[in-house]
Amino acid sequence: MNFMRLRNLCIVLLCLLPAATPAQTADEILAKIIAARGGRDKLRAVRSERISGTISFGDVSGPFVVELKRPLKMHMQLTVQNQTMVRVYDGQSGWANNPFAGKLNPEPMSEDELKNITEESDFDGPLLDYKTKGSQVELAGKDKVNDKNVWRIKLTNKNGDVRFYLFDVDSSLLLKWEGKRKYEGQELPVESYFTDYREVGGLKFAFAIDSGSSATDVNQKIRIDKIDLNPNINDAEFAKPTTPTQPGSPPPNPASQPPAKPPA
């Protein structure tokens, strides 16, 4: 067999081999993730949200309501053992009271608190249009969450904070979030698990979020009862709150736990 015939035979054999699957990039996986939620257009069409349900810290629990409105406005209120915590952000300034730590009057948020609530108030989530938000995203390989194969997405925001988002390879839905939260000068590792996905207005939402930190003994459980999309919310809801009435004795301090708004 001469050289030309040998070369032609090799070319034919190569054509018969299955094509290698190209490695997926982070942006390609993010496109699937956004589509699984309901699509970019539907996500951007949401101008406001109202999320209500029950939040539990260990053995104590109570109702919560989170209201969000573009651009970056948030009002969160939770009541546990007849004491009410309120956290408000108007897009620039934030206030919070913490009756569980003896702080009854709303006070301006600290720098760390403002960083946290800025992320929470972005109900598009940090991954949508991450480049315009000054963040970087990379694919950190595959992993497992409760025997499910997941993509591990690493996000580094403009402040240098690192978060990991673990998405189901099959459904492209978020199953786990890993990050850190600063509280009273300490940086606490936090993990959140997302289950019970339901469709609301053509978008998928997790109705059960379980969070905890290895640095504390109290875990947080969120069970969402209802999500309203595009409710009419007066901007006065995002102004500095008044001092609420605070009867009762303090339960374990929920301020050391993840906020009552799931990370997107």
> What is the per-residue pLDDT for 179?
92
> What is the per-residue pLDDT for 187?
81
Closest of 235, 204, 206, 203 to residue 221, by C-alpha: 206
Give a yes or no: residue 13 inside a domain: no
d(CA 37, CA 185): 35
Q: Which residue has the tokens 């459980």?
A: 221
Give a yes or no: residue 6 inside a domain: no
Task: State the CATH number of the domain containing residue 50.
Answer: 2.50.20.10
Contact 114, 95 (CB under 8 A): no
d(CA 93, CA 264): 21
Maximum Cα interatomic distance, the chain, rounded to a whole number of Å: 95
Give a yes or no: residue 145 inside a domain: yes
pTM score: 0.82
Residue-wise pLDDT for 52-90, tens only, equals: 999 998 889 999 999 999 999 999 999 998 999 999 999
What radius of gyration, in Å, describes the C-alpha atoms of the chain?
A: 23
Give a yes or no: residue 4 inside a domain: no
d(CA 123, CA 205): 11
d(CA 105, CA 98): 8
Residue-wise pLDDT for 107-141, tens only, equals: 999 888 898 898 899 989 999 999 999 999 999 99
> What is the per-residue pLDDT for 248?
47
Which residues in the chain come in under a pLDDT of 50? 3-4, 6, 9-10, 18-22, 246-264
> What is the per-residue pLDDT for 102?
85
d(CA 63, CA 60): 11
- Number of domains comprising the chain: 1
Give a yes or no: residue 93 inside a domain: yes
Six-digit token string for 27:
């942006």
d(CA 229, CA 48): 6
Six-digit token string for 112:
């760390």
Give a yes or no: residue 133 inside a domain: yes
Three-state secondary-structure class, residue 113: helix
Give a yes or no: residue 32 inside a domain: yes
Six-digit token string for 127:
């991954």
Which residue segment(s) compose the domain that 78 sits in?
22-256
